[in-house]
Structure 1
Amino acid sequence: LLRRYQLLFYPKDGSVEMFDVKNQRTFLRRTKYDELHQEDLFIGNRVNVFSRQLDLIGYGDQYTGNKLGSKKERTLAMVKPDAVNKMGDILQMIYDANLILTKAKMTKLTCCPGPYLLSILSLLCHDSSSLSSSLPTALTGKILHSISAAGFEISALQMFNMDRANAEEFLEVYKGVVTEYPSMVAELCSGPCMALEIRGTDAPKTFREFCGPADPEIARHLRPSSLRALYGKTKVQNAVHCTDLPEDGVLEVDTYWRLIHPHI
Structure 2
Amino acid sequence: MNSVFPSYAFKIEFFDEMAELVRPYVLTYHTEKGEIELFDIRNRRPFLKRTDNHTIQKKDLFIGNKILVNGRQYEIVEFADEPTRRTFEVNMQHTYAMIKPGFYNRMGEAIDRIYQEGLFIVNLRLGLISRETAMNFYGEHRGKPFYDSLVQYITSGPIVAMELVGNNAISRWRQIIGPTNLDTAKREAPNSLRALYARSTTENFAHGSDSPESAQRELGIIFGQHSVQLISTTDGCTCGVIRPHALKDGMAGKIIRDIVANGFEITGAMVANLDLATAGEFLEVYRGVVQDYSEMVKQLASGPCLALELRKDNAVQAFRDLCGPRDSQVAKQVRPSTLRAKYGSDVVFNAIHCTDLPEDAELETEYFFTLLDE
Matched, 1:76 2:182: no
Matched, 1:242 2:330: no
Distance between the aligned counterparts of 2:31 and 2:372, measured in 1? 33
Shift of 1:181: 0.7
The aligned runs of 1:37-116 (5 Å cut-off) are: 37-111=57-131, 112-116=155-159
Distance between the aligned counterparts of 1:161 and 1:3, measured in 2? 19
Distance between the aligned counterparts of 2:335 and 2:87, measured in 1? 46
Shift of 1:232: 1.0
**Of 21, 45, 51, which aligns to 2:41?**
21
Shift of 1:82: 2.5
| SS, match of residue 239 in structure 2 | strand
Q: Find the counterpart in structure 1 of residue 160 from structure 2.
A: 117
User: What letter matches 2:105 in structure 1?
Assistant: N
Distance between the aligned counterparts of 1:21 and 1:229, measured in 2? 44
Distance between the aligned counterparts of 2:95 and 2:368, measured in 1? 27
**Of 220, 229, 233, which aligns to 2:345?**
233
The aligned runs of 1:242-261 (5 Å cut-off) are: 242-261=354-373
Distance between the aligned counterparts of 1:11 and 1:189, measured in 2? 24
In the alignment, structure 1 segments of 5+ residues that lack a partner are none
| SS, match of residue 92 in structure 2 | coil
Root-mean-square deviation (Å):
1.4
Shift of 1:257: 3.0
User: What letter matches 2:157 in structure 1?
Assistant: G
User: Contact 2:233/2:267 (CA < 8 Å) preserved in 1?
Assistant: no
| SS, match of residue 82 in structure 1 | coil
**Of 248, 256, 264, which aligns to 1:144?**
256
Q: Find the counterpart in structure 1 of residue 137 from structure 2.
A: none
Larger mean Cα displacement after TM superposition, 28-37 or 1-10: 28-37
| SS, match of residue 23 in structure 1 | coil
**Of 116, 124, 127, which aligns to 2:233?**
127
**Of 184, 187, 191, which aligns to 2:299?**
187
**Of 305, 309, 315, which aligns to 1:197?**
309
User: What letter matches 1:30 in structure 2?
Assistant: R
- 1:55-76 CA-partner distances (Å, limit 9, x unpaired): 1110001111001222211111
User: What letter matches 1:59 in structure 2?
Assistant: F
Distance between the aligned counterparts of 1:258 and 1:78, measured in 2? 22
User: What letter matches 2:126 in structure 1?
Assistant: M
Distance between the aligned counterparts of 1:212 and 1:81, measured in 2? 32
- 1:184-207 CA-partner distances (Å, limit 9, x unpaired): 111111111100111111111111
Q: Find the counterpart in structure 2 of residue 223 from structure 1.
A: 335
User: Contact 2:40/2:47 (CA < 8 Å) preserved in 1?
Assistant: yes
Distance between the aligned counterparts of 1:4 and 1:123, measured in 2? 34
Distance between the aligned counterparts of 2:371 and 2:359, measured in 1? 20
| SS, match of residue 77 in structure 2 | coil
Shift of 1:125: 3.0
Q: Which has the larger radius of gyration?
A: 2
In the alignment, structure 2 segments of 5+ residues that lack a partner are 1-15, 17-21, 132-154, 163-222
- 1:202-247 CA-partner distances (Å, limit 9, x unpaired): 1111111111110112222332211111111101110000100011
User: Contact 1:134/1:140 (CA < 8 Å) preserved in 2?
Assistant: yes
The number of aligned residues is: 262
- 1:116-160 CA-partner distances (Å, limit 9, x unpaired): 100234232332221010131311110111111111011111111
Distance between the aligned counterparts of 1:125 and 1:229, measured in 2? 30
| SS, match of residue 94 in structure 1 | helix
Shift of 1:34: 4.7
Distance between the aligned counterparts of 2:118 and 2:103, measured in 1? 21
Runs of 4 or more off by more than 3 Å in structure 1? none
- Please give the TM-score of this superposition, normalised by the length of structure 2: 0.68
Higher helix share: 2
Distance between the aligned counterparts of 1:183 and 1:250, measured in 2? 25
